[in-house]
Chain A
């Protein structure tokens, strides 16, 4: 199979359409199994009680939030280097999902923080860098929304995305350092207690589910973006007429 064959929007569009149900189904099954393990099989944590179960959502969301930004940067770099429209479309399609996971990670983190730390929000290094990551996603999407010309939106977004990716480690370490100088964080997430195997499984399944969901959502969104952009071409017209 020639992968380049699918680098063109007109061939990628039907392929994405075929793949979406598979990834969506996988995401659904993995979520169900993952949630079952997280809530019914995994034992209660003797220190944190039942409240710890939020990590089964929180940790996968946090992983995905960072990972998606990296994947976006990968597509942006490919797009800038080889001038492929589809790569920009993928980066663009991933952004809202990434922002959603960032928000979920922050939100569930607050829910976890209230009973465990006694505060909805602390200026911990991880929380702060996650918040700034959310700002980076928002900036990317705001830039895309403000530019009408799709070619310019693609490139401008890709550049911003790459600058962001260079900056993320600097931001993370500066925030970490700022935090340790200001006040010692009373609870450290890095001193994670050795986790029971079944908990790890639950988390991994949920992470896989989040991954599959991301692929399905990004493919679905990229299909819409492709149709919007290629609406003047013949095959896109045929698609649109077939739908209506």
Chain B
């Protein structure tokens, strides 16, 4: 069982490593979206500090949605996905592995870039640390919930925009708790409560999302 999970993860990460252009697009998308905000709003440090956490988080949502469309699509197109579904292992393991791989490929780089972007927004060091922490807990949620959307919209017209429409409302709690944690540090109310709730949401997504995603995959492929 675990071996199967690791094989799925390893395969996806390897594929992404061989085609760097694909995943770099999502990362640069993230950086660019975040950098557009000061240009649109103005460079006042106080204002930037207030909106910084929210902007970084919203950009993280968009970047994860951008890359989600491809989560199952490539394997579906060349027929690999059907073979994978025929394997004797539970499909939930496959979707879990895919979501974890998506997080490794798209989530971890986000964590590494986020402090730099936070500096652009004039966030103090303490808040930067919490920003990374909140993204570390929050981005797996994005990958897990997103895998449901990717499975539901597999092979449909306008898949990308459709995933956004379906999944964005479900991301709301992650966004609120994630950005709220950083905000809490800035306003001095502390971030533990937000981070705990974010963690709880992660646990729930971890328990439910792979199964729902597996069911959705079966619906879409059959």
Main secondary structure of the interface of B (DSSP, over half): helix
Q: Number of A interface residues at 8 Å Cβ cutoff, please give it.
A: 26
Within the complex, the shortest CB–CB distance from B142 to chain A, in Å, comes to 14
Q: Which of B156, B158, B166, B183 has the most CB of A within 10 A?
A: B166
Q: Are A142 and B166 in contact (CB under 8 A)?
A: yes
Q: Are A138 and B165 in contact (CB under 8 A)?
A: yes
> In this complex, what residue of A is CB-closest to B219?
A155
Q: Taking the complex as formed, is A139 at the interface, i.e. its CB lies under 8 A from any CB of chain B?
A: yes
Q: Which of B185-206 contact A (CB under 8 A)?
A: 189, 197, 201, 204
Q: Taking the complex as formed, is B55 at the interface, i.e. its CB lies under 8 A from any CB of chain A?
A: no
Q: Which of B168, B173, B204, B212 has the most CB of A within 10 A?
A: B173
Q: Which of A152, A155, A174 has the most CB of B within 10 A?
A: A174
Chain A residues closer than 8 Å to B219, beta-carbon distance: 152, 155-156, 159
Within the complex, the shortest CB–CB distance from B222 to chain A, in Å, comes to 8
Chain B residues closer than 8 Å to A198, beta-carbon distance: none
State whether A175 and B176 are in contact (beta carbons under 8 Å apart), knowing that A146-B157, A152-B219, A170-B201 are contacts in the complex. Answer: yes
Q: Number of B interface residues at 8 Å Cβ cutoff, please give it.
A: 31
A112-149 vs B, CB cutoff 8 Å, 1 = contact: the mask equals 00000000000000000000100110110011001100
Give the CA-CA distance A138 to B161 in the complex, in Å. 13
Chain A residues closer than 8 Å to B170, beta-carbon distance: 163-164, 167, 171
State whether A174 and B197 are in contact (beta carbons under 8 Å apart), knowing that A156-B219, A181-B180 are contacts in the complex. Answer: yes
Main secondary structure of the interface of A (DSSP, over half): helix
Give the CA-CA distance A163 to B169 in the complex, in Å. 11
Q: Taking the complex as formed, is B31 at the interface, i.e. its CB lies under 8 A from any CB of chain A?
A: no
Within the complex, the shortest CB–CB distance from A163 to chain B, in Å, comes to 6
Give the CA-CA distance A97 to B168 in the complex, in Å. 22
Contact of A156 among B152, B158, B172 (CB under 8 A): B152
Q: Which of A138, A162, A177 has the most CB of B within 10 A?
A: A177
Contact of B153 among A132, A135, A146, A171 (CB under 8 A): A146
